[in-house]
A and B are shown apart, each in its own frame.
Chain A
């Protein structure tokens, strides 16, 4: 096994999780838990692929995917922010809706054939750095590089800019933010929309870059849910979210590749000789998500870290909040 290749592919596959995780961090930082990530990713993946097939332009596909998923997210925003309904159930409903809609609208798309994909290229100087170069900067998709840019931008935006401070205020203490003249409702709508667009971008990244095509629900295979878990592990911090996403991406790749070779570190590879054991490998990302949550919650208790204080609570003007 070529470890460099696995890590390289892992970074690519982690980029999908990264976009979805960043999006959910924005939504949750504003106080809105959106469990519809999986559904929005499916809508994104389906519409990106569909538009790319029709127009021949993958960038058009990316744009439409982000708008479509963003639009879907506004249903959640309307139900939870304006109608003040339970965010958990509404998010679940959004996933059902997104899954069903993408199946109906994506009917027959799996046989659409090949399509122009998003370009991959190497970064001239950076790709020559030993070890890091081949893993992060060689033959990666443009989306992977976009991920490198978005992570520090998101981190800086949330922690060090004025709108970022408003975002945190709305998620931590909406009533206080309201008295300062910040429009809580509008900001929550906006960041749910940002979350939706990033989930759509994640979907488009799957169907037009990482594993091209449309394979009904199997396109995402629960990655949207893993992203929701990663947000908790990341403690709502984009940089930790990125690290978690890349580790998970590498794990996903490793599972695919580990069953290939006959020997593994000089021993006979049990997964090669017993292919059914591969099902236990398939469990790993999901089991790992649960383990990560256990570790994350213990750390959170120790360091007294926590979710945005108003996460999951509707803000009703004029009522005593928190």
Chain B
């Protein structure tokens, strides 16, 4: 260390105990605050007004019940992909492919409607469960591929899941531009009403307060998934194995845990959750298959899972925060701001981990001499 003529020096000592919960939260909030500050500087440098941008984000996402409902709509896919990443990351399995699994889930759900296997006027009770199943299966399949390649050939799952993202997008484009193209446009026809997830606004007749609220049934999927993931990870034998592999694969192997099998299963579980997110988005919001169905939900899910410290319940809160950022960010100039802020948040979050692992002490040095 170079000699600074400061009256104190800063020393970092490894922490032997786990820090208290409030401290963990405090550090996370500090990281977000620092990130927003740094993001503000960049916005100012790019010629924007950071304070006005942030106020705008706040107003445009939490200002009224109407916009809050829209924020929740953005939060739904984030909850599901955030959970997808949580499950995989808990086993230290880097599934960066939630985006692709999301697209495949959307494809699977659309195939139920557009392939013509159901009559156009089939009941909602037929459409929606079938679409859910198809989305889940398609997403799980897209998770199976990298899982199998990792288990069998030790292929780095970060690269394979990422490559599968691009393949999934091209796959969907083939159907959007070619097979299911509606009148030459780059989108399929609109789904029949019974294939739409019910929205709060659909019940405005009985409850006038719900008028115009766009939040759809996908929110229930997300909340149920939170409980399922929590139960699986923290209350089931399988979850114990997942956590054991994540914390200490060596110990898991000695304990007789089948790592290869779990690699495949966890990737499929993760893919299934992301696939359900795709189904919920396509059936609850877009109502047709088209190109731009995701502003990078799959990637934001990674940040969501990390910020939530892989805690399924915290995923909900964090998703709402990022949902607001995505919703309001659409109108902010320059247009890359939400993506950039997400990046800065993740960077400062990882850096802040240091404060959890080390105790920072300020030691006075003036008396020493």
Binding site for B on A (CB under 8 A): 35, 39, 75, 78-79, 83-86, 88-90, 92-108, 216, 221-222, 225-226, 228-229, 232, 274, 276-277, 279-280, 282-283, 286-287, 289-290, 293-294, 297-298, 301
Question: Please, which residue of chain A has its CB at the minimum distance from the CB of B149?
Answer: A294
Q: Do A93 and B159 contact each other (CB < 8 Å), given the known contacts A100-B342, A107-B46, A286-B167?
A: no
Verify B155–A283 contact, CB threshold 8 A.
no
A274 CB contacts on chain B under 8 angstroms: 178
Verify A101–B42 contact, CB threshold 8 A.
yes
B303 within 8 A of A: yes
B177 within 8 A of A: yes
Give the segment of B115-123, B314-322, B329-337 that binds chain A: B329-337
Binding site for A on B (CB under 8 A): 42-43, 45-46, 94, 96, 149, 153-156, 158-160, 162-164, 166-167, 170-171, 173-174, 177-179, 299, 302-303, 306, 333-344, 346-347, 349-351, 353-354, 357
Bound-complex Cα distance A85 to B149 (A)? 27
Of the candidates A83, A100, A282, which one forms a contact with B344 in the assembled complex, judged by CB atoms under 8 Å apart? A100
Verify A289–B163 contact, CB threshold 8 A.
yes
Verify A94–B347 contact, CB threshold 8 A.
yes
How far in angstroms is the closest Cβ of chain A from B336?
2
Q: List, sorted by A's number, 29 A–B pairs whose CB atoms are closer than 8 Å.
A: A79-B351, A83-B351, A85-B351, A89-B346, A89-B350, A92-B96, A92-B302, A97-B346, A97-B347, A99-B339, A100-B339, A100-B340, A101-B340, A103-B339, A104-B337, A104-B340, A107-B46, A274-B178, A276-B174, A276-B178, A279-B170, A280-B174, A282-B170, A286-B166, A286-B167, A289-B159, A293-B155, A293-B156, A297-B154
Bound-complex Cα distance A280 to B169 (A)? 11
How far in angstroms is the closest Cβ of chain B from A313?
14
Bound-complex Cα distance A39 to B346 (A)? 14
Question: Please, which residue of chain A has its CB at the minimum distance from the CB of B163?
Answer: A286
B303 CB contacts on chain A under 8 angstroms: 96
How far in angstroms is the closest Cβ of chain A from B265?
20
Of the candidates A89, A226, A232, A287, which one forms a contact with B306 in the assembled complex, judged by CB atoms under 8 Å apart? A89
Verify A276–B177 contact, CB threshold 8 A.
yes
Of the candidates A95, A107, A283, which one forms a contact with B336 in the assembled complex, judged by CB atoms under 8 Å apart? A107
Majority SS of interface residues in chain B?
helix
Q: Do A283 and B342 contact each other (CB < 8 Å), given the known contacts A92-B96, A93-B347, A222-B162?
A: no
A229 CB contacts on chain B under 8 angstroms: 156, 159, 163
Verify A35–B158 contact, CB threshold 8 A.
yes
B173 CB contacts on chain A under 8 angstroms: 279, 282
Question: Please, which residue of chain A has its CB at the minimum distance from the CB of B299?
Answer: A96
B337 CB contacts on chain A under 8 angstroms: 100, 104
Question: Please, which residue of chain B has its CB at the minimum distance from the CB of A85?
Answer: B350
Bound-complex Cα distance A101 to B341 (A)? 9
Q: Do A104 and B334 contact each other (CB < 8 Å), given the known contacts A279-B174, A287-B163?
A: yes
How far in angstroms is the closest Cβ of chain A from B260?
14
How far in angstroms is the closest Cβ of chain B from A220?
12
* 4 pairs of A and B residues whose beta carbons are closest in the complex: A103-B336, A100-B340, A276-B178, A97-B343
B164 CB contacts on chain A under 8 angstroms: 286, 290
Question: Please, which residue of chain A has its CB at the minimum distance from the CB of B306?
Answer: A89
Question: Please, which residue of chain A has its CB at the minimum distance from the CB of B38?
Answer: A97
A93 CB contacts on chain B under 8 angstroms: 343, 346-347, 349-350
Verify A96–B351 contact, CB threshold 8 A.
no
Bound-complex Cα distance A88 to B159 (A)? 12
Verify A279–B163 contact, CB threshold 8 A.
no
Of the candidates A84, A89, A96, A228, which one forms a contact with B354 in the assembled complex, judged by CB atoms under 8 Å apart? A84
Question: Please, which residue of chain B has its CB at the minimum distance from the CB of A91?
Answer: B158
Bound-complex Cα distance A222 to B177 (A)? 22
Max chain B CB contacts within 10 Å: which of A221, A228, A293?
A293
Bound-complex Cα distance A95 to B156 (A)? 18
Bound-complex Cα distance A209 to B336 (A)? 25
Bound-complex Cα distance A274 to B149 (A)? 32
Verify A75–B347 contact, CB threshold 8 A.
yes
Bound-complex Cα distance A105 to B47 (A)? 9
Bound-complex Cα distance A98 to B343 (A)? 8
Q: Do A225 and B162 contact each other (CB < 8 Å), given the known contacts A103-B339, A104-B42?
A: yes
Question: Please, which residue of chain A has its CB at the minimum distance from the CB of B339?
Answer: A100
B347 CB contacts on chain A under 8 angstroms: 75, 79, 90, 93-94, 96-97
Q: Do A225 and B336 contact each other (CB < 8 Å), given the known contacts A75-B347, A93-B347?
A: no
B179 CB contacts on chain A under 8 angstroms: 276
How far in angstroms is the closest Cβ of chain A from B304?
12
Question: Please, which residue of chain B has its CB at the minimum distance from the CB of A83?
Answer: B354
Question: Please, which residue of chain A has its CB at the minimum distance from the CB of B179?
Answer: A276
How far in angstroms is the closest Cβ of chain A from B160?
5
B344 CB contacts on chain A under 8 angstroms: 97, 100
Question: Please, which residue of chain B has its CB at the minimum distance from the CB of A287?
Answer: B167
A84 CB contacts on chain B under 8 angstroms: 354, 357
B96 CB contacts on chain A under 8 angstroms: 92
Bound-complex Cα distance A297 to B170 (A)? 26
How far in angstroms is the closest Cβ of chain B from A245?
15
Of the candidates B154, B170, B334, B353, which one forms a contact with A85 in the assembled complex, judged by CB atoms under 8 Å apart? B353
Verify B163–A107 contact, CB threshold 8 A.
no
Bound-complex Cα distance A104 to B53 (A)? 13
B341 CB contacts on chain A under 8 angstroms: 100
Verify A232–B156 contact, CB threshold 8 A.
yes
Question: Please, which residue of chain A has its CB at the minimum distance from the CB of B336?
Answer: A103
Verify B346–A290 contact, CB threshold 8 A.
no
Q: Do A297 and B174 contact each other (CB < 8 Å), given the known contacts A85-B353, A100-B339?
A: no
